Structure 1
Amino acid sequence: MKIVVIGGTGLIGSKTVAILRRGGQQVVAASPKTGVNTVTGEGLKKAVAGAQVVIDLSNAPSFDPEVVSEFFETSGRNLAAAETAAGVRHHITLSIVGTDRVPDQSYYRAKVSQEKLIEASRIPYTIIRSTQFLEFLGGIADASTDGSIVRLPPGLLQPIAADDVAAFVADVAFTNPRNGIVEVAGPERAEFNEIVTRYLKGIGDPRKVVKDPQARYFGGRLDERSLVPLGEARLGRTNLDEWLRRFQKRA
């Protein structure tokens, strides 16, 4: 089976490609690095020709609101056109748990637009919504730092390891399209500030973490359950402590 992974050289994409190739599949790792650009259309038609499954794990090159919106909408339309012409039987996209519950966050709004484009197409699809990656906790802390203090909004977090996300994505490639949403999350749910405190302690970072009702999550206001599944979700195996052990071993 030919599977095209858009964003196949990125964090989740490279891991997904490796899993699929170990399973003996014909996999195309498509990204600007390999000559495939979903925004300009360069190399896209050739890449998806003969593909049964297309997995979109691409990401915008910037978090600027206009850039993000333009990227996901243009990329989504180009992908839909190329997949329709190629007769793709299953489109899979990685999205975010709670993307429709943080309307004042520009990145989340852009992902909602991407999901709507997928739903409006006639291509059978599955949208995988994931909670935040453990690998991004450092970036969240940095973006929320004020001097030596990390100010985080109230709410719950249920972060998942990138390896577990990739495993779920690869697994969905061999299932029938849901024409709907499935959610994946980490095995451990706790207060946002507690998770980040444990992460920083685990890597030896002395910054202090505080819960600040006025703090925003990349510009978005959070409720207690904005970033965690509200219903059924598939849970990864890797908790924060295990991930930190692996991180320290690699370091």
Structure 2
Amino acid sequence: MKTHVDSGNSILQISMESQENTSANSIKSRPINQRKRLSPAQRRKQITQEAVTLITQYGSYGFPMQALADAVGMTLPGLNHYVKNREELLSLVIETFYDSEEEGNAHTALGAAISHCDQTDSATKERRHLPGALHETVRLNAKRPELVALFMRLAIEASDPEHPAHKFYQNRHSSILIDMTSVDWELPEEYRDPERLHDLIVTAFFAMDGVQIQSLTNPSESMMQLWERAEHILFPSPTWDGYR
């Protein structure tokens, strides 16, 4: 009887050890970093986000496409399924962050700022205030310095007529002016003249570009601190009191 029990225990022990070994072997055989399957839209977004990081660090042409493929965990042929070449990649970046209506992208910061002013002014039944819209634009951009850096780098590179972003930047100035001058702003009397308003808006955006560059290259003062300095010059008291 004892021998039978020992034999049974031995068989049971062997069986349990066999199961443990099988389980251990199964765990060891699993890939450590199994790549997550993404939808085409999710993959395109991932590619764009990694491209922004690389472009900001190295410029549009300062990194090999293989580096981008590695960053998103794909082979180069797999990446080419989404973007065939560098020009398509840059076009995708511009489309995603500047031309689209996606919330939070750089090109619609001004639109979001005007919308913010609409919500604020509707409570007081006032029209939109230009200084407030510009202030909100800077505030939104200050929250995403990596996109501001990308925008500035591409702006310099896009001076080349062959650059994929050349047309976008070429049209940026006129499109901003059209958008801004078409708004029904609440303005001091002397700025209700269209030409005077045009000159003010142009100067304000020159100042905004300068503030963004300064905050990136010499961050001893924040973007908002620098803009608040500019506001005192662009919208001085008492002329702009009550119109902010």
Short-chain TM bin = under 0.3
Q: Which structure has the highest strand share of the two?
A: 1
User: Higher Cα Rg: structure 1 or 2?
Assistant: 2
Q: Which structure has the highest helix share of the two?
A: 2
Higher relative contact order (CA 8 A, sep 6+): 1
TM-score norm. by structure 2 comes to 0.27
